[in-house]
Amino acid sequence: MIEPVRPIAIEDVEQARQRIAATVLRTPLVRFDERIWLKLENLQPTNAYKIRGATNAVACLSDAERAKGVWTISAGNAGQGVAYAARQFGIPATVVAIETAPQTKLDRMRALGATIVPVSYQDAWKAAESHSFEGLEGTFVHPFDNHDFIAGHGTMGLEILEDLPEVRTVIAAIGGGGLITGVGSALKARNPDVKVIGAEPETAAPYAYSLEQGSPRWFPDWQASFVDGAGGKSVTERMWQRMRPVTDGTITVTLDEVRDAMRLIAEKSRTIAEGAGALALAAALTGEAGEGPIVCVVSGGNIDLSKFAELVVS
């Protein structure tokens, strides 16, 4: 049975912070320029923010639920997070993985002990919407529509406010919506005046389209791209309910703007951002987010190095 949607309370986030403290890195907040800061989640042990939510979600399961093993759906980062958390508890993990995921993400999930079940993007999205996948046993840990998963991501919001109390806007990529819901919930609870803005690629911007239409919708012209860790095919009704109260809109960027942001992050911070990881900076650089201080969540850095070089070296 799928539990009803409920708000992410600040107490949920504070408790998550205690559960994940021994596993998750408190990532640095570094200055990009006079108005923009970067929250470097690409430095996490799995090189992506998903380890926050995955660790909290697996820790919140009962002993009986964990004894069955866990499974999730992923383009790579959630799968790594769940596999990492499962290994900490000594339980098996299976990932229904989008078959077009970068090889580096597939290799890292396997290295963490996960069993990979490759599927098409369409089948993966159907499983995410239905919370089920035929033939798999074990306890399902949803990669974004899961209260404990989202609360884990909220811990990032607490760190941002502690490190930069004067922050005016936080930008985060939108894929399924779990990242921005968690961060937004924590930020709005602590300081309702902070704006929380999403970032989506022009090839897959269902939240922007849904906001235009006034209800959750499928994106009509979805295209696959190197921004594989964000830009879903649709906004589900449940995630619409979660995101709307804690967000202040979204910015759509071109793929060229994402490439430029990937290169700039490498130049300024000497770290690698995957496409989804550079979305927030690309959005900030459009100027649509207003004045600073702006914090851009660099959500991940899991990209094949050859692909990274191809994208950023002109």
What are the residue ranges of CATH 3.40.50.1100 in the chain? 10-49+147-312, 52-140
Paired with 36 in beta bridges are 294
CATH pick for 52-140 out of 3.40.50.1100, 3.40.190.10, 3.40.50.300, 3.40.50.10800: 3.40.50.1100
Tell me the whole-structure pTM to 2 decimals. Answer: 0.95
| Backbone phi, psi, residue 94, to 5° | -125, 140
Q: Which two tokens stand for residue 136?
A: 């798999």
What would the pLDDT profile of 166-222 be if each residue is shown by its tens digit?
Answer: 999 999 999 999 999 999 999 999 999 999 999 999 999 999 999 999 999 999 999
Which pLDDT belongs to residue 77? 87
Asked if CATH classification 3.40.50.1100 holds for the domain at 10-49+147-312, the reply, yes or no, is yes
- Over residues 115-163, the pLDDT tens digits come to 999 999 888 888 888 888 888 889 999 999 999 999 999 999 999 999 9
Burial 97-116 (b: 16+ CB within 10 A, else e): bbeebbebbbebbeebebbb
pLDDT of residue 74: 86
Q: Measured on CA atoms in the order 5, 246, 101, 52, is the torsion positive or negative?
A: negative
**How far, in Å, CA of 66 to CA of 60, rounded?**
9
